[in-house]
Structures are given as structure tokens and as C-alpha cells.
Amino acid sequence: MDTERYPEWNPTFIAVSPTYEPDIQVRSRVGKPNGSFIDMTTTVKSFVVHEELRQSGGLPVVLTYNHGGF
């Protein structure tokens, strides 16, 4: 949930901003193996610090998701 440190533990995510909060859109820049990248937008559905992150988004027709975690 610490978007500033994403690249430290997941090098696929080059940048994620802003920080997670309920009802906002989070922008992610995802690196591909060939060196290019994809920009994606995620909508935060619900968020409770250290308890829950539920979000949906992706690239229509290519990759979409609706997931949550604890």
C-alpha cells in the first residue's frame, strides 16, 4: 500500500501514484520485458490501512480485474 516503494519490491511497477485512498483513481506505469511500458488506471473501491484493498481496472479487452486482499 506504500506506492512510493513499489519499485523496491516489485520491479514491474515503475511508478504508482497517488497513495491509496477510497474512491480515487491510482495510476500505474508497468514495465514490460522488452523495455517498453503500459500505463493503467485502477479505481479504489474500498481501503482500510493494513486490512483491505479492493480495486478494479486494467485495459479494456486486454486485461481487466476486480480484486481485493487483506
DSSP string over 36-56? -EEEEEEEEEEEETTTEEEEE
pLDDT digits (tens, 9 = 90+) for 12-55: 888 888 888 888 998 889 888 899 998 888 888 888 888 888 88
The answer, as to whether pTM is greater than 0.85, is no
Q: What is the pLDDT of residue 10?
A: 83
Q: How many angstroms separate the Cα of 41 from the Cα of each of 22, 25, 49, 64?
A: 14, 6, 20, 10
